[in-house]
Amino acid sequence: MASVQHFITESKKKTQIDEFLQKKLEKAGYGGVSISKTPLGTHIVIYAMRPGMVIGRGGETIKELASTLEEKFKVSNPQISVSEIEIPELNAYVVASRVASALERGVHFRRAGFWALNQVMEAGALGAEIIISGKLRTERARFEKFRAGYMPKCGDSALKYMRKAEVHVQLKPGIFGIRVRIMPPDAVFPDKIQIAETLPSEEPTEPTEEATEEKSEEKKEESE
């Protein structure tokens, strides 16, 4: 039970850090965090669209984040590095945040969902799914699902490659939830077989005089 409690505590801490960074770095285009423990401390990689805003002038912002994570969340010796998001449309956090901001501006949820889905698929994703839940039309909460492409829900490929994110936004009817799942173009599926093209056979070359002499000598030795 001690090991189970340890993993639950670590998962809760990671979720709290994720929510804190999401609010703190909203203007920087926050796109998720990766936390891994090393012998020297805790290595934290922050993905953002604008890394300069995360680092700050002379590294002030990133130093402030390190001290906050160490004091508030008890992270041992945090070592923070920032990675720029090359294709924002393939990042689940960025897509969910864009849908949330569109809903805040008063855009209809179906228009926002289809707009985000088209952007993700045009960026080269193999599949995408966007679920918007809340009081969409009536007082009773419901959800609307927007899906395109190939989206496996279970198996090794879904666990290894699928990118997930969930964002909540407060609107007049209540809290809306946006859940995004993206299957990136570099995902590998065991049921997708690639057939390699066969190379053209090389034309037989005529044997040289030296090769013929060597073969004749070998035959003489074998006969003897």
pTM of this structure: 0.73
CATH code for the domain of 92: 3.30.1140.32
76 and 153 co-located in one domain: no
- Rounded to whole angstroms, the Cα distance separating 122 from 89 reads 9
Please enumerate in sequence order all residues whose Cβ is within 8 A of that of 89, keeping only pairs 6 or more positions apart, or say none: 95, 119, 120, 122, 123, 125
* Per-residue model confidence as pLDDT tens digits over 181-203: 999 888 887 777 777 776 665 55
Residue 190 lies in a domain: no
What percentage of the chain exceeds 90 in pLDDT? 17
Residues 58, 156: Cα–Cα separation, whole Å = 42
**Is residue 104 located within the same domain as residue 156?**
yes
d(CA 20, CA 24): 6
Total count of domains within the chain: 2
Rounded to whole angstroms, the Cα distance separating 213 from 121 reads: 65
**pLDDT-derived band at 178, boundaries 50, 70, 90:** very high
Report the SS3 class of residue 131. Answer: strand
Decide if 178 contacts 131 (C-beta within 8 A).
Answer: yes
Q: What is the mean pLDDT of residues 65-89?
A: 86
Each residue of 81-128: pLDDT tens digit?
Answer: 888 888 888 989 889 989 999 998 989 999 999 999 999 999 889 999
Report CA 33 to chain centroid distance, whole Å.
Answer: 10
Q: Token pair for residue 180?
A: 């995004």
pLDDT given for residue 153 in this prediction: 81
Domain that holds residue 118: 88-183
pLDDT of residue 40: 83
191 within domain boundaries:
no
For residue 195 the two structure tokens come to: 């057939």
Q: Is 154 helix (H, G, I), strand (E, B) or coil?
A: coil
Whether 205 maps to a domain, the answer reads no
